[in-house]
């Protein structure tokens, strides 16, 4: 299973447990990894999660951010899988 998928599961679990410190930490890891990938559509969401402060924000906002990141990263994973299959049959 790709590492990103594991991180997605970790951040979802942290949200279910209302562990916003862990959400901040995981988002920081994601930000570092995203620097190497051209996935610009979720960089703002990752930065927002990294800085998310439960005292100043609605907890549901974190869920929305996580859901968007989850959707985009799963699309990226599927695209990579499809590209591998296409390259395998083309080669």
d(CA 2, CA 39): 16
pLDDT grade for 81, boundaries at 50, 70 and 90: confident
Q: What is the pTM of this model?
A: 0.78
pLDDT grade for 2, boundaries at 50, 70 and 90: very low
Domain that holds residue 24: 3-90
Residue 85 pLDDT greater than 80, yes or no: no
3-state secondary structure of 56: coil
d(CA 46, CA 53): 13
User: 59-63 long-range contacts, Cβ below 8 Å, gap at least 24?
Assistant: 59/18, 59/20, 62/15, 62/20, 62/23, 63/15
pLDDT in tens, 12-69: 999 999 999 999 999 999 998 888 888 889 999 999 999 998 888 888 999 999 999 9
pLDDT at 88: 65
Number of domains in the chain: 1
């Amino acid at each position: 299973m790709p590492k990103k998928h594991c991180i997605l599961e970790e951040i979802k679990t942290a949200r279910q447990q209302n562990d916003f410190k862990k959400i901040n930490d995981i988002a920081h890891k994601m930000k570092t990894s995203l620097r190497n990938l051209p996935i610009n559509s979720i960089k703002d969401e990752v930065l927002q999660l990294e800085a998310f402060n439960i005292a100043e924000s609605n907890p549901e906002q974190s869920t929305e951010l996580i859901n968007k990141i989850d959707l985009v990263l799963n699309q990226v994973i599927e695209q990579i899988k499809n590209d591998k299959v296409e390259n395998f049959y083309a080669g």
